[in-house]
């Protein structure tokens, strides 16, 4: 039901975050789409902890959004959020959501990042929910993280971290 919106939100997030990513600390980025009961996208917002300038508008065309209809009644809107979270160190809990939000699907991937900032190894270590995010290890192999301090050295130990990709929703009635 929300699979198409999640895929479109991912495409929007990838387009917004063309910068080099950090692996030194945790970060997140999310795209939230407000969808009417007829499946039409009403608005789209991109936010990132890596950009202190706040959120930006993004776009999802109406014809693409109409493939994901909500089960709501007339005058009901549903927020659908696609989020990527990077965590160095321990495996994160992908179910950490705000009250009223429902996890639709998620995936946690363990990463090894080489000294040049390339993802050298990626393994899915957890999945959840009925909506499988379209973003996975193949997509992560195209991402660039910052290079290690001191530059690439032969035999340098890869940095490790986890990428959580989650899709969650929240219904709201218009008053």
In sequence order, which residues have a C-beta less than 8 Å from that of residue 28 and are 6 or more positions away? 48, 49, 83, 84, 85, 86
Q: Which residue has the tokens 């927020």?
A: 79
Is residue 92 within 8 Å of residue 84, measured between CB atoms? no
Per residue of the chain (175 residues), what is the pLDDT tens digit? Answer: 344 444 445 544 555 455 678 888 899 998 998 888 777 778 899 998 888 776 777 766 543 333 334 444 445 668 889 999 999 988 888 777 888 888 899 999 999 999 889 999 999 999 998 888 888 999 998 888 887 665 555 556 778 999 999 999 886 655 5
Report the distance separating Cα 33 and Cα 9, nearest Å.
7
Tell me which residue range forms the domain holding 49.
Answer: 3-173
Domain count, the chain: 1
What does DSSP assign to residue 130? S
> Measured at the alpha carbon of residue 3, what is the angle toward residues 23 and 162, in degrees to the nearest 5?
20
pTM (2 d.p.): 0.76
What is the distance, to the nearest Å, from the Cα of residue 144 to the centroid of all Cα atoms in its chain?
16
């Amino acid at each position: 039901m929300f699979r198409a919106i999640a895929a479109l939100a991912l495409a929007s997030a990838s387009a917004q975050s063309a910068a080099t990513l950090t692996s030194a600390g945790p970060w997140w980025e999310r795209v939230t789409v407000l969808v009417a009961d007829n499946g039409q996208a009403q608005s789209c917002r991109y936010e990132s902890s890596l950009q202190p300038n706040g959120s930006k508008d993004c776009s999802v065309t109406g014809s693409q959004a109409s493939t994901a209809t909500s089960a709501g009644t007339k005058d009901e809107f549903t927020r659908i959020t696609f989020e990527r979270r990077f965590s160095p160190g321990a495996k994160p809990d992908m179910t950490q959501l705000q009250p009223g939000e429902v996890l639709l699907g998620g995936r946690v991937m363990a990463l090894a990042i080489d000294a040049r900032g390339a993802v050298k190894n990626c393994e899915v270590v957890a999945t959840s929910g009925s909506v499988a995010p379209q973003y996975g290890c193949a997509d992560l192999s195209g991402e660039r993280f910052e290079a290690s301090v001191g530059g690439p050295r032969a035999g340098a130990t890869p940095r490790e971290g986890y990428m959580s990709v989650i899709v969650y929703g929240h219904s709201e009635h218009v008053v």
